[in-house]
A and B are shown apart, each in its own frame.
Chain A
């Protein structure tokens, strides 16, 4: 049992008074109400993908020559972009989780709502984000980018083909026979989910109430050759989950083939 004398009691009283005074001094003033956030007016970013073969509009079933003069055509071309976002370093503004492009009938556009402002460029990934890639496609309406109706779903792997390019080829440059041999290159799965960055020389200005169009040229001929890896159709004509190195090489080439003006 601790006993205090009258002097100690006096000091304790003074201390308590002091504490009380301190509490009063540090009491927070009434908070100043935060101003209502000012809504940033929205504009539209229109991404227009334009498939080309050596600088000319790509036409399905048209015979072209590849980098080693082999005869080749394209009969199907589809791709997904994931995590599309505008950026101004060090910030990013997410626009859409996934966008689907069926480039079989020429250029395709997608409109994305964006805050008005000036941006350095935009980023995306070739493919479908992992969380969406693992979802059950039966959940999506027929019009959804991830609907099984698009023919992009890999049922056996519960994931999507990020890029699909199919067509026919002939290794003999002199032949005039119809193209018979087929190729089908379907990259998918996480290692093929590659980043892309597009920086237009004058940036991207989104103006409220208007549409800003950015044209992305897709040089399909360069899917098959690039400084980092050529694709030899004689031996590299099928990637359907069974040839990951080829799938990655094609994905890398495809990413490098896309550019903005």
Chain B
């Protein structure tokens, strides 16, 4: 009678729904995927307070309904400042060996720092960003639950990375087809798939595996001399000039415009580029040699690419 009953909130593991065929997800020891850490990361991801003037959130350039990519060739940061490259979709990041289109950042945690500090993006400081929101809700409660201490710069990177790891793609009609549902793809899409992996186009050579990317760096002949050094900026190797990480093709129908600089507005333009063999860059991948397909085959191929769109939202945090 009259006992003082105290209810203590307890964090629990986040039950991430992984699609069939997904590789095991290995998490960093200092970034546990729990209900609180994921929700903390999501709150941060959508919060413009992480930018200097409070105008830009991660989600300002990574729209959930666009597979967390942007709709413009180059995203704008605070005060309308233009960034450097096209905002990539955010999906299946848990399996990426390196981040950014040139692979300059080895972990998702370190990646989280970049847009906050980039003067063309959020132009802020991760310590100041953490201080700004630390005492506010839901940050104070979620950080205490997830990590047992108030939010700081270190935890901010962990939480953002953890949330982004939950953005998993693998529920497209293509995936259902791979799992044995032969009705999942139309006849045209199946013809497109055959072309995609066939000996003439060999798209699957670079766009293979679960993520439909080899996560390697290629110069695909967008320019004879690329104005962007690409991978060379990181490796300091001249033969890496103009090479960029192979993008995933998952949800490709949602992520226009395409290429590292958003130079192609449509999948048709992308198709035309690869069919032409591209520009004669000295280190162009020999796989980009051009090909000839009929208008019908072109439609089949594009139909197949549309079948790579997930049938459910990437975001599992509700």
Residues of A in contact with B (beta carbons under 8 Å apart): 134, 136-139, 142, 147-149, 153, 155-158, 189, 191, 241-242, 244
A157 touches B153 (CB 8 A): no
Note all chain B residues with C-beta closer than 8 A to A158: 104-106, 110
A241 to B199, CA, bound (A): 39
Q: A138-B154, A148-B125, A148-B127 are in contact. Are A155 and B233 (CB under 8 A)?
A: no
A244 to B229, CA, bound (A): 12
- The DSSP consensus for interface residues of chain B is helix
State whether the Cβ of B253 lies closer than 8 Å to any Cβ in chain A.
Answer: no
Top 5 nearest A-B pairs (CB, nearest first) are A155-B114, A138-B153, A138-B157, A157-B104, A138-B154
A148 touches B236 (CB 8 A): no
A156 touches B104 (CB 8 A): yes
Note all chain B residues with C-beta closer than 8 A to A148: 113, 117, 125-127, 153
Note all chain A residues with C-beta closer than 8 A to B105: 155-158
The 8 Å CB contact of A241, one of B114, B125, B233, is B233
How many A-B contacts if CB must be within 8 Å?
59
Interface centre among B100, B106, B115, B117 (most CB of A within 10 A): B117
State whether the Cβ of B118 lies closer than 8 Å to any Cβ in chain A.
Answer: yes
Q: A155-B118, A158-B104 are in contact. Are A244 and B236 (CB under 8 A)?
A: yes
Residue of A nearest to B128 (CB): A149
Note all chain B residues with C-beta closer than 8 A to A134: 106
Residue of B nearest to A134 (CB): B106
Note all chain A residues with C-beta closer than 8 A to B27: none
Note all chain B residues with C-beta closer than 8 A to A156: 100, 102, 104-105, 114, 118, 233
Q: Nearest chain A CB to B127's CB is how many angstroms away?
A: 5
A149 touches B118 (CB 8 A): no
Note all chain B residues with C-beta closer than 8 A to A136: 107, 109-110, 113, 154, 157
B233 touches A242 (CB 8 A): yes
B229 touches A242 (CB 8 A): yes
A244 to B105, CA, bound (A): 19
Q: Nearest chain A CB to B170's CB is how many angstroms away?
A: 28
State whether the Cβ of B280 lies closer than 8 Å to any Cβ in chain A.
Answer: no
Residue of A nearest to B158 (CB): A138
Q: Nearest chain A CB to B241's CB is how many angstroms away?
A: 11
Note all chain B residues with C-beta closer than 8 A to A147: 127
Q: Nearest chain B CB to A93's CB is how many angstroms away?
A: 32
The 8 Å CB contact of A149, one of B102, B110, B125, B156, is B125
Note all chain A residues with C-beta closer than 8 A to B112: 138
State whether the Cβ of B178 lies closer than 8 Å to any Cβ in chain A.
Answer: no
A136 to B126, CA, bound (A): 12
A156 to B156, CA, bound (A): 18
State whether the Cβ of B234 lies closer than 8 Å to any Cβ in chain A.
Answer: yes
A58 to B267, CA, bound (A): 56
Q: Nearest chain A CB to B161's CB is how many angstroms away?
A: 10
**Residues of chain B in range 100-156 having any CB-CB distance to chain A below 8 Å:** 100, 102, 104-107, 109-110, 112-115, 117-118, 125-127, 153-154, 156
Note all chain A residues with C-beta closer than 8 A to B127: 142, 147-149
A149 to B157, CA, bound (A): 15
A147 to B139, CA, bound (A): 23
Residue of B nearest to A240 (CB): B233
Q: A139-B154, A148-B126 are in contact. Are A157 and B234 (CB under 8 A)?
A: yes
Note all chain A residues with C-beta closer than 8 A to B154: 136, 138-139
A198 to B233, CA, bound (A): 32
Note all chain A residues with C-beta closer than 8 A to B106: 134, 158
A153 to B112, CA, bound (A): 13
Q: A138-B126, A148-B153 are in contact. Are A157 and B107 (CB under 8 A)?
A: no
**Residues of chain B in range 69-101 having any CB-CB distance to chain A below 8 Å:** 100
B113 touches A137 (CB 8 A): yes
Q: Nearest chain A CB to B217's CB is how many angstroms away?
A: 15
A189 to B125, CA, bound (A): 22
A137 to B156, CA, bound (A): 12
